[in-house]
Structure 1
């Protein structure tokens, strides 16, 4: 997944870009609003991390222009102003999400994964990776052309993992998305659902697990 990072604090921008690249993202960087629009016209970015306070052209102006042009890029807006009124104003401009500074890096990653899943869902009804394929409209699933008989929860887990397009999905995120709650005591149900899903998917096992990260299925083919 390709991200355009727009941040005028160069040390912050370069540090974030390096970290996101280590997470597997393709990252382009612009240091002002005008440069962001120029860069976006030449690349196929699915997500934009957009600082609100930018030189040349403000983040507000960039966001407004992109929405007037009906550009499909998903926008995560960053700002040092974190009041409710600021957040509402940013969302009203057309931002898809809003993160006040300073922020925790793990929260930034979680929000990017969520936006990435929404962007992927908007692109089409079929999600596919590691020879696993689902149709999100028909709610069918298959592996190597073999139909899979999944429970609703198993299907929900598989859809979340495929929609992440190679990114990690944590246990709490799966609880939020598939079970609609994040009760610490309910973590065992995620582990059980992943276990039965693995059995139905067969070998080789396409689901990776990493402590502190969660689960993922390799990058989409």
Structure 2
């Protein structure tokens, strides 16, 4: 699942965009000012950023300049309330991949996001491997040299987080925040249920991989 950072200070618009993007199977983190945007972009990896130019604390163009100066090539779609050509030109010159003028049709936003992330996706490996298993990001299949099994959306996201950070303990709260979302009604034991199901599937395909629990902390992916 592709991860997006949405930087939009209009709360109602932000909530609406998050709902639309999640409906289209994107995982979305929402921030409401440029300072927060920079902090998230420093500590997290995203497949794309939707960045409003007019933001409090640090404006969108400054955020873009900052991340590009640090070599961060994440695809950026700029949102601007002004149809003034200067903003667009400055944004593209600073390293934006595309721009959209408010008000916009949500279908167009989704199409633009898909276009900029596709370009990035072509550069990203569609398969992750660890020990004798391969996780296919396109088909959600988990393969070993012996067998193949299909994962559910949530199982895929949990295993992807573990396989991108093998041997690192990922806190249970982190899974909850990234996959189920802070506003979810789900209880934290949904993570345990998902891990339990993944263990069975890893076992079924004869993998040399195990998901280890660290009591009251989280989980890590280890080679047996």
- TM-score category by the smaller chain? 0.5 to 0.7
Q: Where has structure 1 moved over 2 Å in runs of 4 or more?
A: 83-86, 122-132
Contact 1:52 1:78 in 2 (8 A): yes
TM-score normalised according to structure 1 size: 0.56
Aligned twin of 1:97: 98
Judge which range, 83-92 or 102-111, deviates more: 83-92
Aligned twin of 1:41: 42
Contact 2:126 2:137 in 1 (8 A): no
Contact 1:48 1:74 in 2 (8 A): yes
Measured at CA, do residues 128 and 42 of structure 1 come closer, stay the same or move farther in structure 2, by a change above 3 Å?
closer
Structure 1: how far apart are the matches of 2:79 and 2:140? 37
Measured at CA, do residues 2 and 111 of structure 1 come closer, stay the same or move farther in structure 2, by a change above 3 Å?
same
Aligned twin of 1:23: 24
In the TM superposition, residue 124 of structure 1 has moved relative to its aligned partner by 4.7
In the TM superposition, residue 94 of structure 1 has moved relative to its aligned partner by 0.8
Q: What pairs up with 1:166-181 in 2 under 5 angstroms?
A: none
Root-mean-square deviation (Å):
2.1
Aligned twin of 1:76: 77
Aligned twin of 2:3: 2
Map Cα deviations across residues 94-146 of structure 1 (whole Å, 9 max, x no partner). 111010111110000100110111011122598963399xxxxxxxxxxxxxx
Structure 1: how far apart are the matches of 2:72 and 2:59? 17
In the TM superposition, residue 17 of structure 1 has moved relative to its aligned partner by 0.6
Aligned twin of 2:63: 62
Contact 1:46 1:72 in 2 (8 A): no
Aligned twin of 2:13: 12
Aligned twin of 1:130: 139
TM-score normalised according to structure 2 size: 0.55
In the TM superposition, residue 40 of structure 1 has moved relative to its aligned partner by 1.8
Aligned twin of 1:164: none
Measured at CA, do residues 128 and 32 of structure 1 come closer, stay the same or move farther in structure 2, by a change above 3 Å?
closer
Contact 2:126 2:138 in 1 (8 A): no
Contact 1:4 1:29 in 2 (8 A): yes
Structure 2: how far apart are the matches of 1:36 and 1:74? 14
Which 5+ residue runs of structure 1 have no aligned equivalent? 133-221
